[in-house]
């Protein structure tokens, strides 16, 4: 049962009073964060809440860090395994684009059951017709403007794919609708830089700072010719990509990908004291305590 | 006092029960329309409601045309002069990008006072650093993904401009944050085609179908070298552009612009039986009945 946090209280009711002048609803004027909750802890919680706070500030949303932390931690304390979503909007305002001054940001959150079947699970990627607009700050922030991702994902599913891969307006590889893309060649692990229009993902940062990953712009030809590719997200963690459009990739059997999954799995175990199922039936991953 | 329509009732309370799983709030998964209400009538009401319904359908939102009409007409009947905003979202859904099936779209609307000082009023345009992404269907629909417009407008105002002008990713002129752009050269009136990433505006359609306007891709050099330029929107109607970045335009004294304003004014008078103030103190526009 999904739990909702609003105004300091937790409820299982999705319906509650809301201000219909809220700019989050009317203009997509806000940001959010999705994080994994295990054993009452948010995995990489500080990184998630810092990023949400920084994104709010980049948009000029005058939210308190404390309000974000309170919402997230109140729900995380309810356990898991779950998916925590924390949302910040610029709050209510008058008609039009100009915000209320001073702002009264809205913060709310939800904790849903973790769909464990997607964790570490392989996936196929369609190539989206819609480009990722790297000229917009929203390409680097997890904003409420998710319609391109909704539309591209629906198109991918209609074409028989699991997920979609965006190129940016310069024609370079950007990211999946809900995750960062990495290409593996030999021992080299590469992902596009944030400037190419991608979110600075939390699992992406784990690969870059703790597993020797590198930032470099990628052409689609580089990725389909790679030894392997994978998508990172706080929900899928490290998902091997088995197909991009017509090109097949042997990512599920790749030693580098498998090693990264194990390091991720160990990092979660170390931080949350919980093991997650690893694909391929390795013993340590069979149970989800 | 702004009036709100929700679930068949009208209220002056902005706060009301709302489903916090609504995809309009969580993902910007919806569309809206802004129209002028005068004398209890929505100016070009059928065109507005058709466009909102078509946009919903283009996004795959299974809304009834009747639900849209009921919301809009219930508020319009309350009079005006006002700004009617009608919003359609894909409705509540489970966590993630995949929608609920069958969908239960949400429709709500508001009627705010008309800021009469912006109607026909001249404005200055900054050139936005953010590009309009013509590869996305959202560039041609009035979706809830308005953050680029919010950010670019804030940047424009910080730089001393009234509004902002977007180029598209191909470097051509697209539109203002809240309106279409037209350039005038001699008797020729030109605006970018929808394919360049612009909304098929209702006032834009009036200029194209009733006043001899033409669709043609525009470079910024064409616009700053034009005799005049103007922005159309259902709220500003026809707003002469006096400056774009550093370039000044004599749009307020341009006979073609003045003539278009008068034709627009007459069309409103004919349809709604109401006269609006024209800039420059012409007698017929002094009163707002």
User: What digits encode the pLDDT tens for the residues A130-144?
Assistant: 999 999 999 999 999
Residue A9 has a pLDDT of 96
pLDDT band at B180 (very low <50, low <70, confident <90, very high): very high
Q: Do A137 and B154 touch (CB under 8 A)?
A: no
> Choosing among A12, A83, A91, A96, which should be mutated to test the B contact, i.e. which has the most B CBs within 10 A?
A96
The complex's ipTM? 0.95
Of B29, B131, B147, the CB nearest to A135: B131
* HEC profile of chain A: CCEEEECCEEECCCEEEEECCEHHHHHCCEEEEEEEEECCEECCHHHHHHHHHHHHHHCCCCCCHHHHHHHHHHHHCCCCCEEEEEEEECCECCCCCCCCCCCCCEEEEEEEECCHHHCCCCEEEEECCCCECCCCHHHHCCECCCHHHHHHHHHHHHCCCCEEEEEECCCCEEEECCEEEEEEECCEEEECCHHHCCCCCHHHHHHHHHCCCEECCCCHHHHHCCCEEEEEECCCEEEEEEEECCEECCHHHCHHHHHHHHHHHHHHHHHHCCCCCCCCCCHHHCCCC
Closest residue, chain B, to A108 (C-alpha)? B20
Q: Do B169 and A131 touch (CB under 8 A)?
A: yes
Q: How confident is the model over B235-282, as pLDDT tens digits?
A: 999 999 999 999 999 999 999 999 999 999 999 999 998 877 665 544
Q: How far is B29 from chain A (nearest CA, A)?
A: 6
Q: How confident is the model over A258-284, as pLDDT tens digits?
A: 999 999 999 999 999 887 766 554 444
pLDDT band at B288 (very low <50, low <70, confident <90, very high): very low
For residues B54-86, one letter each, b for 16 or more C-beta atoms within 10 angstroms of the residue's C-beta and e for the rest, the string is ebbeebebebeeebbbebbbbbbeeebbbbbbb
The DSSP-derived string for B118-148 is GTT--EEEEEPSSPB-TTSGGGGS-BS--HH
Q: Name every chain B residue with its beta carbon within 8 A of the beta carbon of A19.
A: 14-15
- Window B:193-212, CB contacts with A under 8 Å: none
Average pLDDT (A17-38) is 97
Residue A283 has a pLDDT of 45
Q: How confident is the model over B1-48, as pLDDT tens digits?
A: 899 999 999 999 999 999 999 999 999 999 999 999 999 999 999 999
Q: Name every chain A residue with its beta carbon within 8 A of the beta carbon of B147.
A: 27-29, 59, 138, 143-145
**pLDDT surpassing 90 at residue A53:** yes
Residue B175 has a pLDDT of 98
Q: Name every chain A residue with its beta carbon within 8 A of the beta carbon of B149.
A: 27, 97
Closest residue, chain B, to A94 (C-alpha)? B112
Cβ–Cβ contact A103 with B under 8 A? no
Average pLDDT (A143-149) is 98
Residue B78 has a pLDDT of 85
- Window A:105-164, CB contacts with B under 8 Å: 108, 110, 112, 115, 129-131, 133, 135-138, 143-151, 153-154, 157
Cβ–Cβ contact B252 with A under 8 A? no
Average pLDDT (A67-93) is 95
pLDDT band at B286 (very low <50, low <70, confident <90, very high): very low
Residue A288 has a pLDDT of 33
Q: Tokens 């939800």 map to which residue?
A: A110
Closest residue, chain B, to A31 (C-alpha)? B26
Of A4, A115, A133, the CB nearest to B20: A4
pLDDT band at A80 (very low <50, low <70, confident <90, very high): confident
Closest residue, chain A, to B11 (C-alpha)? A20
Q: How confident is the model over B115-142, as pLDDT tens digits?
A: 888 999 999 999 999 999 999 999 999 9
Residue B86 has a pLDDT of 98
Q: How confident is the model over A212-267, as pLDDT tens digits?
A: 999 999 999 999 999 999 999 999 999 999 999 999 999 999 999 999 999 999 99
**pLDDT surpassing 70 at residue A180:** yes
């Amino acid at each position: 049962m999904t739990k909702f946090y609003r105004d300091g209280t937790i409820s299982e009711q999705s319906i509650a009073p809301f201000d219909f002048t809220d700019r989050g609803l009317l203009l997509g004027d806000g940001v959010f964060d999705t994080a994994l909750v295990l054993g009452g802890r948010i995995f990489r919680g500080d990184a998630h809440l810092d990023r949400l706070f920084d994104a709010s500030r980049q948009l000029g949303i005058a939210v308190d860090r404390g309000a974000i932390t309170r919402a997230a931690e109140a729900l995380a304390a309810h356990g898991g395994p779950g998916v925590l979503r924390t949302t910040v909007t610029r709050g209510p305002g008058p008609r039009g684009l100009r915000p209320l001054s001073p702002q009264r940001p809205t913060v709310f959150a939800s904790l849903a059951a973790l769909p464990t079947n997607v964790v570490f699970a392989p996936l196929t990627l369609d190539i989206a017709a819609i480009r990722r607009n790297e000229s917009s700050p929203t390409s680097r922030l997890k904003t409420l403007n998710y319609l391109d991702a909704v539309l591209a994902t629906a198109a991918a599913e209609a074409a028989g794919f699991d997920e979609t891969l965006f190129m940016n307006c310069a024609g370079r590889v950007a990211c999946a609708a809900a995750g960062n893309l990495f290409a593996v060649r030999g021992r080299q692990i590469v992902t596009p830089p944030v400037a190419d229009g991608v979110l600075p993902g939390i699992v992406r940062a784990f690969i870059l700072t703790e597993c020797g990953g590198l930032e470099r712009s990628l052409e689609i030809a580089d990725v389909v010719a790679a030894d392997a590719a994978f998508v990172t997200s706080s929900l899928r963690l490290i998902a091997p990509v088995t197909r991009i459009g017509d090109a097949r990739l042997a990512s599920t059997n790749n030693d580098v990908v498998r090693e990264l999954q194990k390091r991720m799995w160990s990092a979660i175990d170390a931080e949350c004291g919980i093991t997650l199922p690893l694909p391929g039936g390795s013993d340590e991953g069979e149970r989800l305590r």
